[in-house]
Amino acid sequence: MLATTPIREPAPGLPEGWFARLALAAPGAIQLLAAEGERWELEEVSGGLLDPAAGGLALVLEQAGQLIGFGDPAPLVALWRHLATSRPLDLRSLEVQAVPAEFPDAAPPEVDWVIARQEHRFWIREP
């Protein structure tokens, strides 16, 4: 995938909390961090979308104000769409309720995101 010719395009505005909103909304959200003392060959990379089934990767280059995509373009299109329609997210304002995994699968309609773990589900609401 990384051996393909990358596609670069201007990034839409990056609202505060853009990656947190992406991580809550998209199962393929990833964040890349350089190991201590390591340097990236690319400009600053903060996060993006990975679709291993389609063979595509899209990343935000914040300092360059660009998106870069490798392989299948679907993650790049999805990332651009997410950023273009996203609004700021203040993590401190989220209301989180932990419910046992045995509870029925359906969350109340006012719940914006559900994070499922083995023992609990977390119902997250943005006021």
Q: Which two tokens stand for residue 61?
A: 């280059």
Over residues 62-104, the pLDDT tens digits come to 888 899 999 999 999 999 999 999 999 999 999 999 999 888 7
Q: So what's the pLDDT on residue 63?
A: 84
pTM for the model? 0.81
Q: pLDDT tens digits, residue range 19-28? A: 999 999 998 9
Say what the pLDDT of residue 6 is: 92
- Angle, CA of 40, 42 and 47, to the nearest 5°: 85
